[in-house]
Amino acid sequence: MSDKPLYVTEPHLPPLEEFLPSLREVWDSKFLTNGGPMHQKFERALCEYLGVEQIALFSNGTLALLTALQALRITGEVITTPYSFVATAHSLLWNGIKPVFVDVDPVNLNLDPAKIEAAITPQTTAIMPVHCYGHPCDVAAIEKIADRYNLKVIYDAAHSFGVESDGQSVLNFGDMSVLSFHATKVFNTFEGGAIVCKDAKTKLRIDQLKNFGFVDETTVVAPGINGKMSEFNAALGLVQLQHIGEALRRRGEIDARYRALLADIPGIECLPPSPGSKHNYSYFPVLVKPEYGITRDELYAAMRTKNIYARRYFYPLISSFPMYRALPSAAAANLPVAHHAAEQVLCLPIFPSLTESDQQRVIDVIRSLGR
């Protein structure tokens, strides 16, 4: 049997031949960036596919997060989750905002709405939750709190391309949602990202902020950044969009097969699907419980010796990194559920080109190492 390295994800690429005509179009047009024709076409195509009103493309998700906070003029303190990729909290520090970590829900590992109110102070201006692994947050509960305390809500939706909750895009909740099109994500443009917002006026402000704050040739209204997506990435995105349906379908099959074949292994617990949601199967996290027999880290290391590179997303927690750990809200006692999950979680390989035999290799190794 093959023993080739198996990574947690493998970038999903269109056939190169399909990309060549749009590359030629970019070359011929001589528009390479600055909101050229591909950029505009890709924005419209994404709005239609995702079922959202307005979208502004970025060169990556992190710059989109930074700009979303700037566009909404967020200051002071922002409530966020420690259980995410580090860019979530970094976007706050880059804006001079103090992150306030709140613990996560033990079932979906998203920001726990029941714990948000206790963390609100007079300095709080916004909530930045993450739809972790593409599982929708409790958007209704978060909206209720935001309305009561007059807070903005910016969702880090980097995992949630194509996810729906109760029949509509999860990107339509909150004031803004931020996507990442990084190579490792469900939908990629090599590097890329976007902000989803609700009206043309807000999109205009975002478009100015991603272009240094220029509003016309000679007027600069804010210390904006260079966050523009290039024509190359936009052209690639348009081709990728032709294949996303098939990619999500294939991911769904892999997800279902893991659930069926891991079900009888004691101590291996799959995250339950969220009720009422259309998932994108962006990750396949399992929790390694004591009944499994060996720890998560032992399983992680043993899988590596078999050339299977599962990942401990999200360990360490953001709140454990040196630039955050001195914050009062970063104390382990404040975040027991997140700490517990970070010790037990392991994300298994899931990507459209994962073969049935490679998936079986993963399942067999997990089965052989347990009690």
Ligand X SMILES: *Cc1c(COP(=O)(O)O)cnc(C)c1O
Query: Smallest distance, Å, CB 65 to ligand X?
Result: 6
Active-site residue (options: 152, 185, 228, 278) = 185
Helix axes 231-241, 37-50, angle to 10 degrees: 30
CA distance 142 to 138: 6
The correct pick among 130, 154, 234, 254 for binding ligand X (CB under 6 A) is 130
C-alpha triplet 340, 321, 8: angle, nearest 5°: 65
CA distance 181 to 184: 8
Smaller CB distance to ligand X: residue 192 or 224? 192
Does 193 sit near ligand X (CB under 6 A)?
yes
Smaller CB distance to ligand X: residue 60 or 361? 60
Query: Smallest distance, Å, CB 76 to ligand X?
Result: 21
CA distance 234 to 37: 9
The correct pick among 158, 170, 195, 229 for binding ligand X (CB under 6 A) is 158
Smaller CB distance to ligand X: residue 109 or 268? 109
Does 163 sit near ligand X (CB under 6 A)?
no
Does 113 sit near ligand X (CB under 6 A)?
no
Half-sphere exposure of 140 (CA within 13 A, CB side): 2
Q: Considering only CA atoms, which of 154, 200, 190 is closest in space to residue 173?
A: 154
CA distance 78 to 76: 7
Residue nearest to ligand X (CB): 61
CA distance 286 to 346: 5
Phi and psi, residue 130, nearest 5°: -125, 135
As a whole number of Å, the CA-based R_g of the chain is 21
Residues 82-101 that bind ligand X (CB under 6 A): 84-85, 87-88
Query: Smallest distance, Å, CB 183 to ligand X?
Result: 9
Q: How many residues bind ligand X (CB under 6 A)?
A: 14
CA distance 137 to 132: 8
Smaller CB distance to ligand X: residue 183 or 302? 183
Smaller CB distance to ligand X: residue 159 or 361? 159
Does 103 sit near ligand X (CB under 6 A)?
no
Query: Smallest distance, Å, CB 88 to ligand X?
Result: 5
Does 60 sit near ligand X (CB under 6 A)?
yes
Does 62 sit near ligand X (CB under 6 A)?
yes
CA distance 147 to 235: 39
Active-site residue 185, yes or no?
yes
Query: Smallest distance, Å, CB 142 to ligand X?
Result: 16
Smaller CB distance to ligand X: residue 99 or 193? 193
The Cα-based distances of 265 to 106, 237, 287, 356 in angstroms read: 21, 39, 12, 19
Does 240 sit near ligand X (CB under 6 A)?
no
Find where tokens 């409790």 sit. 138
Residues 138-157 that bind ligand X (CB under 6 A): 156
The Cα-based distances of 231 to 42, 63, 131 in angstroms read: 10, 17, 29
* Binding site residues, ligand X, CB under 6 A: 60-62, 84-85, 87-88, 130, 156, 158-159, 180, 182, 193
**What residues act catalytically?**
185
